[in-house]
Amino acid sequence: MIMPTLIFDIETIPDTDGLRILYNLPASVTSQEVANIAFHQRRQHNGSDFLPLHQHRVCAISCALREGNQFRVWTLGDVQATEAEIIQRFFDGIEKYTPQIVSWNGGGFDLPVLHYRAMVNQIQAPRYWDMGEDDKDFKWNNYISRYHMRHLDLMDVLAMFNARANAPLDEIAQLCGFPGKLGMDGSKVWGAYQAGEIEAIRNYCETDVANTYLVFLRFQLMRGHLSQDEYNAEIRLVRDTLTGYSGQHWHEFLQAWK
């Protein structure tokens, strides 16, 4: 039986409630002001306003699941879903499918953020955290170890676990002939969130997941886990699936994918 494959990506905003606690700020300080204070403090500290991972809050998680004869892409929950709901759905999916999970920089960003936010939100994820206590196979291949393949961080592996060799997903996707990012990147998410553009964030996250899966297929071809014919069939499945979706972001994605 082939293990299901779950590709995932998260989008985050500043955890303004948490930052208000950490900076001992009164409730009268707006969320935007809290974030601006945190950004300023961060710039003073290291020249960048990218916040430490424990100061992020998850606002979207998108997934692509390849299981059996099916492939699908979706975002967990709806636009009204709470952070706790979408994080719990993510770990419930791992509980249900025990998939191989695939990411781009998931070990450096997505999973640590999910760990912190799951703890803050009292999320339970026993299957994900199993390191051999419940299933002995997980002692040698689990989601937590950097060098196991149950979680495959494509960026980390391709760079030979050398941060100096890391590459951005957008550029690798384009070099492989895939669309890459379309009109948004992570730096624009907070502004989009403040403008109420949650759907745009979710759509952007979905296209990131699609790019990651396409790069993963090229990786599987390179390592001999897919023949050329099998790779071509997988690419057709992705294209046919996305063609059947109605969102404008998928229309733009397919237009950019020549």
Average pLDDT score, the chain: 96
Residue 159 has pLDDT above 60, yes or no: yes
Calculate the alpha carbon distances from 9 to 40, 135, 136, 228 in Å: 27, 26, 28, 27
| pLDDT of 13 higher than 50 | yes
Q: What is residue 4's DSSP assignment?
A: P
In this structure, which amino acid lies at residue 48? S
Q: What is the pLDDT of residue 148?
A: 86
- Asked whether 130 and 65 are in contact (CB, 8 A), the reply is no
pLDDT of residue 1 exceeding 70: no
pLDDT classification of 254: cutoffs 50, 70, 90? very high
List domains and CATH numbers for the chain. 5-252 (3.30.420.10)
The pair of structure tokens assigned to 130 is 């199993």
Strand, helix or coil at 81?
coil
Tell me whether strands 151-153 and 100-103 are parallel, antiparallel or unpaired: parallel
Cβ-in-10-Å burial (0-12, 13-18, 19+) of 168 comes to middle
CA dist 4 and 234 (Å) reads 14
pLDDT tens digits for 100-127? 999 999 999 999 999 999 999 999 999 9
The pLDDT score that the predictor gives to residue 258 is 82
Tokens of 186: 């992570």
